[in-house]
Structure 1
Amino acid sequence: MTAIPLVLAGYLDELPVPGDDGLTARFRVISSPTDDTVDETVWACRTADPHLAHALLTLMRPGDLLRIGGHLALPGPGEGGPRLDVDALELLAPAPARHLTEMVLNRYGSYLVIFDPEVDTIPVFTEAGTWVGTAEHSDAITDLIHTHETGSPPPSP
């Protein structure tokens, strides 16, 4: 496997996914050298650094502008696709706050959430339509998803 050092800036595409060990994270970053959608690249990323994984899983939100550094892994045949193994992470700018005026359906990995400005809670479903529950606010969505996937509440920080 070839590993190439790389640093890039891009937007966090969706909520990071925790590894089975809880100390790693997988995520995607969208980067464009020209800010034109035809030039965008979606980077599959992962980190084995528990501090970076914790920051990604608890502090970062889709749309955050990040600078990430690491090594681009180019696996051989049959070893999966390329990915960026991240060992440095910096939040350049948080995602802009959205003031909703109408109902919005948003994706959190394989989960769907409905933001409705006229309702105080946020319903969460799997993409297959299975009911997950209701989050009291947007910061509680990832905890609800974690509980649904593992059967237990997330660990306290």
Structure 2
Amino acid sequence: MTAIPLALDGYLDELPVADDGGLIARFRVVSSPTDDVTDETVWACRTTDPHLAHTLLTLMRPGDLLRVGGHLTLPGRGDEGGPRLDVDALELLAPAPAMDLAEMVLDRYGPYLVVLDPDTDSVPVFTETGAWVGAAQNADAITDLIHAHETGTPPSS
């Protein structure tokens, strides 16, 4: 495999996925040099740095503008999988904009579905198969609730 140093700015596409007990985080970053959807590239990323994995899994949310740095790994002949960016540097450039809702919206957080209602702060969270996860106190607590559900720990208050 060939590894090429690379840094790029892009938006976190969806909630990162934890592997190996949360020590590895896999995520996707959408980047566009022109801000035109036809020029967008989706980068498959992962980090094995436990501090970066923890930050991604607990503090980042879809839509956050990130700067990621690391090494682009290109598969060689006979290697499985496609190219991926092994991230060793992460910076939050801008948080995802707060949603200003006029009506109820169903949104996806990876394999989870949330119901955002402008009339209440509470956010019901379900798995995509319809299993109840819980109610987050507000939109900012959704990722904490999901993380607690995945790890079997109580959500932080």
Pairwise same-fold verdict (TM > 0.5):
yes
Gaps of 5+ in 1: none
Give 3-state SS (helix, strand or coil) of 1:57's partner.
helix
Q: d(CA) in 2 for partners of 1:54 and 1:147? A: 13
Partner of 1:116: 117
Could you list the per-position Cα deviations for residues 44-81 of structure 1 after superposition, in whole angstroms to 9, with x for gaps in the alignment? 11111112112212222211111111111122335112
Q: Is the 8 A contact 2:3 2:74 kept in 1?
A: yes
Partner of 1:59: 59
Please, which moves more after superposition, 122-131 or 30-39?
Answer: 122-131
Q: How many residues were matched structurally?
A: 155
* Residue 128 (structure 1) shift: 1.8
Please, which moves more after superposition, 113-122 or 37-46?
Answer: 113-122
Q: Is the 8 A contact 2:75 2:83 kept in 1?
A: yes
Q: Is the 8 A contact 2:58 2:144 kept in 1?
A: no
* Residue 149 (structure 1) shift: 2.8
Q: d(CA) in 2 for partners of 1:88 and 1:150? A: 25
* Residue 102 (structure 1) shift: 1.2
Q: Is the 8 A contact 1:146 1:153 kept in 2?
A: no
Q: How does 1:1-157 map to 2 (within 5 A)?
A: 1-76=1-76, 77-153=78-154
Could you list the per-position Cα deviations for residues 14-57 of structure 1 after superposition, in whole angstroms to 9, with x for gaps in the alignment? 12122222222111100001110011011111111112112212
- TM-score, normalised by the number of residues in structure 2: 0.89
* Residue 148 (structure 1) shift: 2.9
Please, which moves more after superposition, 126-135 or 64-73?
Answer: 126-135
Give 3-state SS (helix, strand or coil) of 1:46's partner.
strand
Q: d(CA) in 1 for partners of 2:151 and 2:52? A: 22
Q: Provide the identity percentage.
A: 78
Q: Which amino acid aligns with 2:139?
A: S
- TM-score, normalised by the number of residues in structure 1: 0.89
Could you list the per-position Cα deviations for residues 115-143 of structure 1 after superposition, in whole angstroms to 9, with x for gaps in the alignment? 01113311111112222221112233223
Give 3-state SS (helix, strand or coil) of 1:3's partner.
strand
Q: d(CA) in 2 for partners of 1:151 and 1:87? A: 28
Please, which moves more after superposition, 51-60 or 84-93?
Answer: 51-60
Q: d(CA) in 2 for partners of 1:146 and 1:67? A: 23
